[in-house]
Amino acid sequence: MFLRGSPPPPAAHLAVGFLLLGSPAFARYSPPDFQTMKRSTFFRLLAALVALPFLTSCSNAADSAAKIPVLIVDGQNNHDWKTTTPVLKQILEQSGRFTVEVATTPPAKSDMTPFKPKFSDYKAVILNYNGDPWSPETMDAFVAYVKGGGGFVSYHAADNSFPAWKEYNEMIGIGGWNKRSEKDGPYIRYWEGKIIRDESPGPGGHHGAQHPFAIDVREPSHPIMAGLPPKMMHGQDELYDLLRGPAENLTVLATAYADPAAHGSGMHEPMLMTIAYGKGRVFHTTLGHALPAMKCATFAITTQRGVEWAATGKVTIPAPKDLSADSVVVPEYLK
């Protein structure tokens, strides 16, 4: 795991010494009297004790430098997943933090039993999926994965999916469309300085005309948002409003104002959220309808950081310096 050209750390010398002390070649040249054997055992133990902390810290350093394996699930959506998945993958890989694989389900209205990815091979699973229910076996495996500490990222229309899957709706916190209503839980709004639950009846899920809009950070100390500006302009997108759901263990990280002039709700609506589910971490981004929304520094950084946080509970990806409250910034690699 050492970088080519850099000198091996002291731990490597100690480990080599320890291996030599324990090797048959060394033993062959040791006088066979009892005192020397005891001394040799003593030195081996000493070398092991001295080397242990170095070896441990060495392997920790290697772990933190290792890339995080994540999985994107696509295959059915009322959105153009064939176009958005490659850009999502590109954005994640650009951070240098992830290895990204894609699992594509069978098409709609077909047998879903062949779709059974090994979720536990990944630190986070990102759903670019809005389609048929999976097999009961795969749904159970996904709940067990997140409940057991896996990361889950709900991306844009993934929060439209699975209206009848109780655990899924608990994981995403709030969702929309597919006959969601007051039976599914409250609306969640930012109102007069705080997040409120609005139990009033009505449909779940709506958006006005697509347009660029600003994201307002509501949890500036959360690792995903730390160091980002309080307001960031986001590229032309659908501004999801009127989402509703159980909203348990949900934290709203950022909102956007759904301007009635663009046929929005007139409310400050949740855009980025986290949900604690069992031992798992969920990051929910409503953003990213299509390429104009994805090719945007605000989408890129919040997605990269959200995925890293869901996968590890920490964020190491630095904040870009060029985010703007007033204009959409397109990173060079997405032009």
Q: Which residue of 289, 296, 297, 306 would you call a contact of Zn ion, by CB under 5 A?
A: 289
Q: How far is the CB of 238 from Zn ion (least distance, A)?
A: 5
Q: Which stretch binds Zn ion (CB under 5 A): 100-108, 172-180, 209-217, 234-242?
A: 234-242
Question: How far is 191 from 185, CA to CA, in rounded Å?
Answer: 18
Asked if 237 interacts with Zn ion (CB under 5 A), we say no
Question: How far is 3 from 160, CA to CA, in rounded Å?
Answer: 45
Asked if 238 interacts with Zn ion (CB under 5 A), we say yes
Closest CA to 187 of 269, 94, 69, 280: 269
Residue among 151 and 176 whose Cβ is closer to Zn ion: 176
C-alpha distance from residue 248 to each of 32, 85, 210, 244, 317 (Å): 70, 29, 29, 11, 28
Residue among 281 and 289 whose Cβ is closer to Zn ion: 289
Instruction: Work out the angle between the directed axes of helices 34-65 and 10-22 (0-180°, nearest 10).
Output: 140
Report the residue number whose CB is nearest to Zn ion. 289
Question: How far is 331 from 298, CA to CA, in rounded Å?
Answer: 10
Length of the chain counted residue by residue: 335
C-alpha distance from residue 123 to each of 139, 167, 227 (Å): 17, 19, 24
Residue among 195 and 294 whose Cβ is closer to Zn ion: 294
Q: How far is the CB of 1 from Zn ion (least distance, A)?
A: 42
Asked if 308 interacts with Zn ion (CB under 5 A), we say no
Q: Which stretch binds Zn ion (CB under 5 A): 51-59, 114-122, 190-198, 236-244?
A: 236-244
Q: How far is the CB of 176 from Zn ion (least distance, A)?
A: 10
Interaction residues for Zn ion, span 203-222 (CB under 5 A):
none
Residue among 174 and 311 whose Cβ is closer to Zn ion: 174
β-sheet bridge partners, residue 224:
none
Q: State the residues that interact with Zn ion by CB under 5 A.
A: 238, 289
